Amino acid sequence: MASPVTRPPAGNHGDEALDILRRLKPILSGLDERQRKQGEDISRIIGQICQLNQQQRKQGEDIAELKGKVSQLPTLWPLATTILAINSGIVAVAALVVARIRFAVGHG
């Protein structure tokens, strides 16, 4: 009965293996270089992500500060009553000035 495993033909196959290894060496070196460059790219990207994270944190703090300031702004009703009070005060002072001038002229 014949063996299911085929045997390589007789001869020196060591030279063929060395030839294959010689051809693979530049390919593997190229892969190593590409992998090194990708590692550098990944490190650079990680640095940029960290920088963006810090900027985002700062923006969050700024937004929180703005929200705090906006929450302290008066609403429409306090503004309206203040404006009315100021206008009423101006009208009252104007009325006093007119009355004073009128009575001052009348007594002169």
10-residue stretch averages of pLDDT, the chain, 108 residues long? 54 76 88 92 96 96 94 84 86 86 67
Residue 31 sits in the same domain as residue 44: yes
Q: How many domains does the chain have?
A: 2
d(CA 91, CA 99): 12
pLDDT of 62 reads 96
d(CA 97, CA 105): 12
Planar angle of CA 90, 96, 99, nearest 5 degrees: 140
> Does any domain span residue 98?
yes
pTM for the model stands at 0.45
The radius of gyration of the chain from alpha carbons, rounded to an integer in Å, stands at 45
Residue 27 sits in the same domain as residue 57: yes
* Short-list 25, 27, 28, 26, CA closest to 17: 25
Q: Look up the domain containing 79 and give its range.
A: 74-108
Handedness of CA 51, 54, 60, 63 (dihedral sign): negative
Residue 58 sits in the same domain as residue 87: no
pLDDT of 21 reads 87
